[in-house]
Structure 1
Amino acid sequence: MYDVIASITAFMSRSIQIFMSMPPADLFLMLWPFLLLSIPRYLLTELVVLFQAAMPESRAKVAFRRQLELQPPLVSVLLPGFNECETLETTVLALREQSYPNFEIIVVSDGSTDGMDAVGRRLAAKGWIRFFNHRMRGGKSSASNFALQAARGEYVVICDADSTFDSDSIWHLLVEFYRPKVFAVAGNLRVRNAPSNLLTRLQALQYILSIGVGRRASAMLGILFIVSGAFGALRRSALLATGGWDTGPGEDGDVTIKTRLAGGDVAFAPKAMCMTDAPDAWWTYYRQQLRWNRSMVRFQIRKYGWLFNPLRQKFSVRNLLPMLDDVVFQLVLTVTIPFYLVWLHSEHQSIFWPLMFFVTLLYTAINYLHYLVALALSERPKLELALFPYVPLYGFFMGFYLRTVRLLAYLDEFFFRTSYREPYVPPDVQKQSRIYDPW
């Protein structure tokens, strides 16, 4: 054991000495992805969220909040679900504990076979929900659109049928509509089953960093491109005008882009908290991430790739910037990093592993900074403090494992169009969606 520790210490010391003695130009050439992309993006994120947290609420927002308190508009909460028999009642009970006084809950069972329809009818008989049962499955988009047509509220809240919420969450979502140009508001998400195992803890870190901090910054910069289908709010008029949800997977990102193309802004409500269970098995998580990341190619590249074309009639820098943010930091970096690593190994084989160690140290330091900012802004700092020891593993989780899964998803979707055969959406519905695919 002593020899192992001594060897690791010697390796660490030698790695640091190597890079301290290197010419700055050589070091820059080897570390350019980190220096030119990661550091500026991380630091910009931290500066933006800290600046926002220090700012008092605007007068317009305070006035809108008071107006909501005096005359709270009807809100329609949509709960489309497939085989959510075990979780539906818990979610409905959590919604009924909301402090917001004027909302309806619309549940659509999308061809469920586990008895969800029986639970829905029982809850409807109590007057808690409005329930609709589809005998044939049409996919989440179909169920969401049906619920939208049944909705009577001025605002629509979309959420999963297996989630729970803080009691003031609907209030926090609605207040962000104080600006008339806001068409959609993203809620904040946390992992409810974080203590289950290592995988759920790493996902909990992912949620507090990429959603709790990342989306807060993106919204303030005007480049937020996603209102998660797990929890978010939209103006019903905007949803109806843009045609609602198209066939998924990735339908939540798609509907958000459509609201931006209609001229709307997307806001983020950090205090509108939704708790959801994350996959606790690696195979389940792997399949989920494949499905989610295929939508990058299906929607951002195929369907909305024209947003990069300045000659198109609806081209705008306002929508180009968030597209660039998504495509560069997710797709381009994921695809190019393997080539960069191969080049680095072939050109600097003797110092390749010390370099990897040095980069890991840098990313770990940045991730801890990111985590501390998230902790300072968190509504649950005591709970999330338990994730502190897992931050060093987070870099490996995001940088190696998840990036590899993303690469597989992008290549799979680009060459094999697997998203059109996903069981997430029934085959006959998928066939119809291909009609509208420009590629």
Structure 2
Amino acid sequence: METKKNYYIPVVRKFWYCHVFAFLWFLFSVFISLPWIKELGQVIGIIPSIIIIAGIAYLPGYLNAFLVFSLFFDNQPKFKVHDPTEPVSIFISCKNEEKGISDTIRHIAKQDYKGDMNIIVIDNASTDLTSSVALKAGQEYNLDLKVIYEEKPGKNFALNRALAMVDTPLIITLDADTILTKPAVRLLVSRLLSAPNEICAVAGSVLVRNSRKNFWTRIQEWDYFLGIASIKRLQGFYQGTLVAQGAFSLYKREALEKLGGWDDAIGEDIVLTWQMLQINCKVYFEPLAVAFTDVPETLVHFVRQRSRWARGMIEAFKRVKPWNQPSIFTKYLTGTNLIFPYLDVVYTFVWIPGLILAIFGYYYIVGATILFVLPLALLTNYTMYHYQRKVFDRLGLKIRKNIFGFFAYVLTYQMFMSPISVLGYAQEFLQLKRVWK
């Protein structure tokens, strides 16, 4: 009996289907917001009202609708290579990480990867015992580990120093406060070796390890678990993951050398990824290759990290223009980042003040009409949760109970993120001193 074949829809067609669905949602949003436009227009004028509402509802709604429909279409390709043995070098760039480096190395030793792993710890001007602790851990766990030194502060200098010393075809970057699940290296390499030749990098899935610490880590857990992971899955679906993050990603050495390594930038991983995409080196995302990292535990450190991310995006724009990207996918994916400063400015200087006005009974910005966005918000978060839960089920992991963090994430997270991002944009515009950590 002949088996019925599944109907195949090309990715480019799915891309346009998702835009059609998102545009229909956009039209629906415009229709239901007409009373809102009229009411706000009586106060500030119709054109300013449309500009503001576009930043609050229309554009975010379009992007979220595109994300949801893309996730429905996404079907991760099956591995062609299951047990790779390709030699790989693991770069761990660190500064003053003596407390956590041993744990990171211990989890490398637990990997089920069958190939040779060459671990290089780059001590970037530490003033503590990072180097000696790393060497001791390497000996204790019987690993091929060496420590090198880079006195010039900056992660790019540290990574480039290690790049010049290795000849393995594959390189993984790993943060010193990040631990790997047992199959993480194997799955990351399997994804790359199972992919077409033009795939030059694969981003791993980085989630939160210290989520139980306090309010800040609890809401970040959901950002990594739902927001960041789903956005990367969307981008990977269109073969254009925009950040092969330095915390845990795999690269082909030849692609790194072709680009001259990592640029001197505060967002060196963002710039590198966009440069790869520009030379038609596509970037995948592997949701099953999971690592857990420590996120900022205080507001001050959270602000520093996220403003640095926003600043890194602007750096990437200066070096690589979206319209110079070779494919329609990467043109769109990088191009959507152009509107983020506008969205963040509107949210910071209009939405948040509008929320405060609503408390006192003035509903020009925030009113009953905004409740219409809640169904899409709930659908978006449910879709993202559905996909992430399947990942955890396959890995035998359990999702931590963090209901308070979830509602805090849904209801308040953007109120922190947009002002912090605006700060990052301003820092780059004013060319203020860059701070790595």
1:260-304 deviation per Cα after TM superposition (whole angstroms, max 9, x unaligned): 12211111100110100111111111122222222222232x222
Change (3 A) 1:232 1:360: farther
Q: Among 58, 65, 83, which residue is 2:81 paired with?
A: 65
When residues 239 and 152 of structure 1 are mapped into structure 2, their CA distance, relative to the original with a 3 A threshold, is: same
In 2, Cα distance between the equivalents of 1:404 and 1:369? Answer: 26
SS in 2 for 1:356: coil
Distance 1:383 1:321, change over 3 A: same
Residue in 1 that maps onto 2:61: 39
- Kindly tell me: are residues 253 and 130 of structure 1, through their superposed partners in 2, closer, same or farther at Cα, counting changes over 3 Å? same
Give, in angstroms, the shift of residue 339 of structure 1. 6.1
- Which residue of structure 1 lines up, in the alignment, with residue 174 of structure 2? 159
Q: Quote the Cα distance in structure 1 between the aligned partners of 2:403 and 2:97.
A: 33
Give the Å deviation of 1:371: 2.6
Structure 2 partner of 1:403? 418
Where in structure 1 are there 5+ consecutive unaligned residues?
A: 1-18, 426-439
Counterpart selection for 1:263 from 280, 304, 308: 280
TM superposition shift of 1:384 = 3.7
Distance in 1 (alpha carbons) for counterparts of 2:297 and 2:133: 26
Q: Check conservation: 2:205, 2:287, Cα contact below 8 A.
A: yes
Q: Equivalents in 2 of 1:135, 1:388: separation in Å?
A: 43
| Equivalenced residues, count | 387
Conserved in 1, the CA contact under 8 Å of 2:203 and 2:249?
Answer: yes
Residue type at the aligned position of 1:325: T
| TM-score normalised per structure 2 | 0.79
CA drift of 1:161 comes to 1.0
The answer to whether the Cα contact below 8 Å between 2:206 and 2:292 also exists between their aligned partners in 1 is yes
After superposition, the Cα gap between the structure-2 partners of 1:50 and 1:387, relative to the gap in structure 1 and judged at 3 Å, is farther
CA distance in 2 between partners of 1:122 and 1:350 (Å) = 61
Q: Tell me the equivalent position of 2:295.
A: 278
1:338 shift after superposition: 5.1
Q: How does 1:5-404 map to 2 (within 5 A)?
A: 23=35, 26=38, 29=50, 31-52=53-74, 55=75, 57=77, 61-62=78-79, 64-66=80-82, 69=83, 72-102=85-115, 103-126=117-140, 127-134=142-149, 136-177=151-192, 178-300=195-317, 302-305=318-321, 307-308=322-323, 317-328=328-339, 330-337=340-347, 352-353=362-363, 355-358=365-368, 361-378=371-388, 379-380=391-392, 383-384=398-399, 386-404=401-419
Q: CA deviation at 1:404?
A: 0.7
Query: 1:218-263 CA distances to partner (integer Å, 9 max, x unpaired)?
Result: 2112342111111111111111111111113100101111111221
Aligned AA (1:324): G
Whichever residue aligns with residue 424 of structure 1, its letter is W
Please give the per-residue CA displacement for 1:90-121, whole angstroms capped at 9, x wherever unaligned: 10110111111112211111121111111133
* Gap runs ≥5 in structure 2: 1-30, 40-48
Distance 1:129 1:26, change over 3 A: farther
- In structure 1, the partner of 2:17 is none
How many Å separate the matches in 2 of 1:238 and 1:39? 36
**Aligned Cα RMSD in Å?**
3.2
Q: Give the 3-state SS of the residue equivalent to 1:232 in structure 2.
A: strand
Cα distance in 1, alignment partners of residues 375 and 233 from structure 2: 21
Amino acid at match of 1:211: I
Partner of 1:4: none
Query: Deviation of residue 375 (structure 1)?
Result: 2.4
Give the secondary-structure state (helix, strand or coil) at the position aligned to 2:167.
coil
CA distance in 2, matches of 1:239, 1:184: 10
Q: CA deviation at 1:351?
A: 7.3
Deviations 1:383-418 (A, max 9, x none): 54623444443244332221011112212221x201
Give the aligned residue type for 2:221.
A
Please state whether the residue corresponding to 1:196 is helix, strand or coil: coil
Distance 1:295 1:387, change over 3 A: same
User: Aligned partners of 1:315 and 1:135: how far apart in 2?
Assistant: 35
Letter in 2 for 1:422: R
Are the equivalent residues in 2 in contact too, given 1:375–1:384 (CA < 8 A)?
no
Q: TM-score, normalised by structure 1?
A: 0.79
Mapped partners of 2:208, 2:249: distance in 1: 16
CA distance in 2, matches of 1:361, 1:349: 16
Q: Which amino acid letter does the alignment assign opposite residue 417 of structure 1?
A: Q
CA distance in 1, matches of 2:224, 2:208: 7
Distance 2:224 2:352 in 1: 31
